[in-house]
Amino acid sequence: MNAKTPFTPARRAERMNPSIIREILKVTEKPGIVSLAGGLPSADTFPVQAMREACTKVLRDAPREALQYAASEGFAPLREWVAAHLNEHQRMNVTAVQVLIPTGSQQGLDLAAKVLIDNDARVLVETPTYLGALQAFAPYEPTIVALASDHEGPLPDALAAAAGGARFAYLLPNFQNPTGHVYSEARRTAIVVAAQEQTLPLLEDNPYGDLWFDAPPPPSLASRWPEGVLYLGSFSKVLAPGLRLGYIVAPPALYPKLLQAKQAADLHTPIFNQRIVHEVIRNGFLDTHVPAIRARYKLHRDAMQTSLVKHLSGIAQWVTPVGGMFFWLELPAHIDAVALLPKAVEAGMAFVPGAAFYASAPRRNTLRLSFVTSPPQQIEAGIAALARVLKAAA
């Protein structure tokens, strides 16, 4: 810290790190670089006109309420909408009283960590896992245990073996960030059975579940074990991330503590945003909007798959994602993606080195590519550039 200030950071602050991705984005957002790094939804999908109309309507019909302090739980009609949506699409059976609206599901991760993690408590994560969750958990000083995982997610036996005394396992069953993996029906069952046998609570994070291309993924873990799963969802990938709206669905016994943590954090999520989003979605808007996003992202996925096959067959390995926003590439063992990045940026493209997503023992020969932010012609140029630097490094 700056020597000129008398402040001393707390021990928890020592655990905080800058997001490597945000640092990379600063370098790569230069004009002329094809960035396949950031996980930004395509801005072309933002429903600008619907938002504009909803803003006007909210300010006309409920200006005093929309600009006033509001309930920490969230806007009641939006909580009702979330419960009904999950009951229909995730085979859940929840009521609005279990729903809390955080400022993005990222805040849900922070609130869950604040309520559930004591220092040195064990928290189980996938290998690799979402970097933002590692960042959210770190200040609460957990011992992070990285579970052995395959192309479908964590191995149920590894989960069972590590469960003793752990506070929860953080799981991403649908189109994971960063790997794009999705748990099969059988894997979901096995994970939930293992967790129930070990009385291991689960934190299920599902921001990408609606972005499937051919068939919806199997129902949520929360639908299989309602009292043992804390569920997070988001409006970021289906509407617009700048609104910062997510949702938490909590078992009733846990809800009051999360609510108290929310009150302490920021009193409530912006009510103006909540009212606007409710106004936009309340009459089935997402029933046509989300399929349009899926169709667009599927085209992008296909473009990246074609380019990868053309330029990187025999050099890199990947599993073609069936939803979400990312390809995860495994490079030859001797190639370090962290060292490769500056060369790639010089060649005109950017990716995120996979090492950032490991809680421990990073596999440095991995990288993440986002296929949704850049248009297909740029994807082709970006992958061609990546292939050039990879061939030079091989």
Ligand X SMILES: Cc1ncc(COP(=O)(O)O)c(C=O)c1O
Residues contributing to the site for ligand X (CB under 6 A): 39, 104-106, 130, 132, 172, 177, 205, 207, 234, 236, 241, 246
Q: How many CB atoms lie within 10 A of CB 304?
A: 26
Output the smallest distance, CB 253 to ligand X, in A. 24
**C-alpha–C-alpha distance, residues 168 and 126, integer Å:** 12
Nearer to ligand X, 326 or 390 (CB): 326
Output the smallest distance, CB 357 to ligand X, in A. 10
Nearer to ligand X, 28 or 105 (CB): 105
Nearer to ligand X, 108 or 348 (CB): 108
Per the listing, tokens 């957990």 go with 142
**DSSP labels, 213-270:** SSSPPPPPSTTT-GGGEEEEEESTTTT-GGG--EEEE--TTTHHHHHHHHHHHHSSS-
Residue 352: phi and psi, rounded to 5, are -105, 120
Residue nearest to ligand X (CB): 104
How many alpha carbons lie under 13 Å from residue 205 in its C-beta half-sphere? 26
Residues 34, 385 contacting (CB under 8 angstroms):
yes
Nearer to ligand X, 203 or 385 (CB): 203
Nearer to ligand X, 38 or 201 (CB): 38
For 48, the enclosing helix (H) or strand (E) is: helix 48-61
How many alpha carbons lie under 13 Å from residue 237 in its C-beta half-sphere? 24
Q: How many CB atoms lie within 10 A of CB 67?
A: 13
Output the smallest distance, CB 314 to ligand X, in A. 30
Residues 172, 234 contacting (CB under 8 angstroms):
no
Give 120-124 contacts, CB < 8 A, sequence gap 24+: 121/165, 121/166, 121/167, 122/162, 122/165, 122/166, 122/167, 123/166, 123/167, 123/168, 123/169, 123/170, 124/154, 124/159, 124/162, 124/163, 124/166, 124/168, 124/169, 124/170, 124/200
Output the smallest distance, CB 373 to ligand X, in A. 12
Output the smallest distance, CB 47 to ligand X, in A. 16
For 190, the enclosing helix (H) or strand (E) is: helix 185-198
Residues 250, 230 contacting (CB under 8 angstroms):
yes
Per the listing, tokens 């094809």 go with 34
Output the smallest distance, CB 130 to ligand X, in A. 4
Nearer to ligand X, 72 or 234 (CB): 234
Nearer to ligand X, 270 or 336 (CB): 270
**C-alpha–C-alpha distance, residues 367 and 336, integer Å:** 9
Output the smallest distance, CB 270 to ligand X, in A. 14
Nearer to ligand X, 205 or 279 (CB): 205
Nearer to ligand X, 246 or 321 (CB): 246
Nearer to ligand X, 205 or 380 (CB): 205
Q: Are strands 202-205 and 168-171 parallel, antiparallel or unpaired?
A: parallel
Residues 92, 86 contacting (CB under 8 angstroms):
yes
C-alpha distances (whole Å) from 25 to each of 20, 77, 204, 342, 387 are: 9, 37, 27, 12, 21
Output the smallest distance, CB 106 to ligand X, in A. 3
Output the smallest distance, CB 167 to ligand X, in A. 18
Output the smallest distance, CB 172 to ligand X, in A. 6
